Amino acid sequence: MKIKLISGTSNPELAEELSNYLNLPLTPVEVKKFIDGELYCRIKQSVRGSHIFVLQPTSSDANQNLMELLILVDALRRASAEEITAVIPYYGYARQDRKSGNREPITAKLVANLIITAGIHRVVTFDLHVGQIQGFFDIPLDNLEAMPLLAEYILKKKIKDIVVVSPDAGGTARARKMAELLNASLAIIDKRRPRPNESKIMHIIGEVKNKTAILVDDMIDTGNTMVNSAIALIDKGVNDVYVCATHAVLSGDSIQKMDSSPIKEIITTNTVRIPPEKRIEKLKIISVAPLLAESIRRIYEGTPMGVLFEGIYDKLSKMRE
């Protein structure tokens, strides 16, 4: 069974990196819009009997990119592709993973249903908003970790007296994992969210004075949480504040807010395409392409994935010594 790599329009730069690492040319596709906004997709090369990896993060515009993924998959299925793996580095709609109020949807499950119905056989993603979303899928899902890549960058900086900070109680497990990777202490911010995309800092739990804070989250959207958390930490005597997040959604004027805030550096990955105008000096982008390419190779060859991450953790362990 041949392997083929296809990219939607959401993150063409990451697709090119993957193509180079895998030494696998991108299979050409045609994606265009009708005047009313309706999408048209066509595969421009035979894919019969092939294992297809389709790269398409469902970031902004989330609705268009999700629909483009589904239409591409439908085209592949009707073109007799043998197996289709959707590589979705950023899984959109993941924040709506449960009902927290009356008459609310669970769109993380809805999107999972759409993906399965479209004919996708496997999903590869990075750092789901909550791990339980894996249970929404009745097909194999690989939830890869970008945190070791972020931890490696921080360890190379040789920062002293680190405290890893979770910006809310829900992210404690994620922050604890980063604290273990960095051999650092842990603090938690007690945050209230009166409505979506708004946050209010209440208390900081843990010792942070005279330390360097590493704020850890899975994504940065409006930037309000990170900016408010950084200000609160500085007020509590923190020396410097670094921000670490896998997905840089960076909606609206988020990057401008963080640029003018006390945040010293923003460390993220390229799971979401970051346009040139948002690549400020404070922003450090770490590519997930090498890790993703090796994961794709192992999925195609049917070899274990765990060995790959064991090597990464061994490397971090040696860096801490």
pLDDT in tens, 251-263: 999 999 999 999 9
Work out whether the CA dihedral 29, 2, 270, 87 comes out positive or negative: positive
* pLDDT of residue 12 exceeding 90: yes
| CA 167 to the chain's CA centroid | 17
* pLDDT of residue 197 exceeding 60: no
Is 200 one of the annotated active-site residues of the chain?
no
Please tell me the predicted confidence (pLDDT) of residue 196. 62
How far is Cα 24 from Cα 20, in angstroms, rounded to an integer? 7
Please tell me the predicted confidence (pLDDT) of residue 308. 85
How much is the average pLDDT of 167-195? 88
Query: What is the 8-class DSSP label of residue 8?
Result: -
How much is the average pLDDT of 37-63? 96
Strand partners, 33: 39
Least trusted range by pLDDT, from 78-92, 267-281, 303-317: 303-317
Nearest C-alpha neighbor of 153 from the set 238, 266, 263: 266
Please tell me the predicted confidence (pLDDT) of residue 115. 98
Verdict on whether the full-model pTM lies above 0.75: yes
Please tell me the predicted confidence (pLDDT) of residue 242. 98
Please tell me the predicted confidence (pLDDT) of residue 318. 86
List the structure tokens of 214: 């590493």
Cβ atoms 18, 289 nearer than 8 A:
yes
- Which three-class secondary structure state does DSSP give residue 39? strand
Average pLDDT, the chain: 94
How much is the average pLDDT of 76-84? 98
Structure confidence by residue, pLDDT tens digits, 94-115: 999 999 889 999 999 999 999 9
- Which three-class secondary structure state does DSSP give residue 88? strand
- For 48, 146, 156, the CA distances from 153, given in Å and listed in that order, are 42, 11, 5
For the chain, domains (ranges, CATH) are: 3-144+289-311 (3.40.50.2020), 147-286 (3.40.50.2020)
Please tell me the predicted confidence (pLDDT) of residue 320. 85
Residue with the bigger pLDDT between 197 and 294: it is 294
Nearest C-alpha neighbor of 163 from the set 239, 265, 248: 239
Query: In sequence order, which residues have a C-beta less than 8 Å from that of residue 68 and are 6 or more positions away?
Result: 8, 9, 10, 31, 39, 41, 56
Please tell me the predicted confidence (pLDDT) of residue 309. 85
**Preceding amide of 168 cis, omega within 30:** no
* pLDDT of residue 192 exceeding 80: no
* pLDDT of residue 198 exceeding 80: no
Structure confidence by residue, pLDDT tens digits, 52-76: 999 999 999 999 999 999 999 999 9
Give the torsion through C-alpha atoms of 58, 265, 147, 161, to 10 deg.
-160
Please tell me the predicted confidence (pLDDT) of residue 65. 97
Please tell me the predicted confidence (pLDDT) of residue 306. 84
Residue 164 CB-density burial (10 A; 0-12 exposed, 13-18 middle, 19+ buried): buried
In the set 157, 160, 177, 191, the catalytic residue is 191
Residue with the bigger pLDDT between 121 and 304: it is 121
Please tell me the predicted confidence (pLDDT) of residue 193. 59
Location of structure tokens 């809310």: 168
* pLDDT of residue 202 exceeding 90: no
Around Cβ 156, how many Cβ atoms within 10 Å?
A: 9
Please tell me the predicted confidence (pLDDT) of residue 195. 62
List the structure tokens of 284: 């450090």
Which amino acid does the sequence have at 258?
M
Cβ atoms 235, 115 nearer than 8 A:
no
pLDDT band, residue 10 (cuts 50/70/90): very high
